[in-house]
Structure 1
Amino acid sequence: MTPSPIEECIVCALEKYFQDLDGETPSAVYDMVMQAVEKPMLEVVMRQASGKQSVASEMLGINRNTLRKKLQQYGLLEGK
């Protein structure tokens, strides 16, 4: 199966990351990637949902309370 464009971007970015480490030991790669992907994803989805959390949570396939926690975590709640 052919990887999606998003997967290809992530693979390229991670390969560059490891290459740039130049032999140094990586740490917390999972957290680094999740934070790099999650915040912009939430920003785009919230724009697409016109700021409506119920619509965004449905688009994302996650519970609205989970979405709200994530928005809070990244400082993306409107008016906050």
Structure 2
Amino acid sequence: MGPTPRRTNSGGNRLNAAADHRSKPRPPLRDHVATSIRRYLGDLNGSGTENLYEIALRELEIPLFIEVLSHCDGNQSRAAAMLGIHRATLRKKLREYGLEQ
């Protein structure tokens, strides 16, 4: 018995998981944020918060900075450019969040 034939697209290229992943429509980031905010508000269970805007910004910025810096191999200039902010602003935010390298 020979090897199992590989699926190909009309151009004859082998389909792989990465190609399949790229072809699927992905929900925009705002949908993920909305879901998280809804969950957070539900978890408050009737309690309020006075500074949700500040909390939300912090909770978004910290993982955003960490992931972009990782993607840029720790290069703050490249990360700042990718984020569309000045490097000094990125450095200030990293200090504020205790994320200095």
Q: Which residue of 1 is the match for residue 96 of structure 2?
A: 73
Q: State TM-score, norm by structure 2.
A: 0.67
1:52 equivalent in alignment to 2:75: yes
Indicate the percent of aligned positions where both proteins have the same amino acid.
36
Deviation at 1:74, TM superposition (A): 1.3
Q: Greater helix share, 1 or 2?
A: 1
Q: Which residue of 2 is the match for residue 34 of structure 1?
A: 57
Which structure would you say has the larger Rg?
2
- Structure 1 stretches of 4+ with a deviation exceeding 3 A read none
Unpaired stretches in structure 2, ≥5 consecutive residues: 1-26
Aligned length: 75
Unpaired stretches in structure 1, ≥5 consecutive residues: none
Separation in structure 1 between the aligned mates of residue 46 and residue 100 of structure 2, nearest angstrom: 40
Q: Which residue of 1 is the match for residue 44 of structure 2?
A: 21
Q: State TM-score, norm by structure 1.
A: 0.82
Separation in structure 2 between the aligned mates of residue 30 and residue 53 of structure 1, nearest angstrom: 26
Separation in structure 2 between the aligned mates of residue 71 and residue 10 of structure 1, nearest angstrom: 22
Separation in structure 2 between the aligned mates of residue 20 and residue 46 of structure 1, nearest angstrom: 31
The farther-off stretch of 37-46 and 15-24 is 15-24
Output the aligned Cα RMSD: 1.4
Higher relative contact order (CA 8 A, sep 6+): 1
Deviation at 1:49, TM superposition (A): 0.9
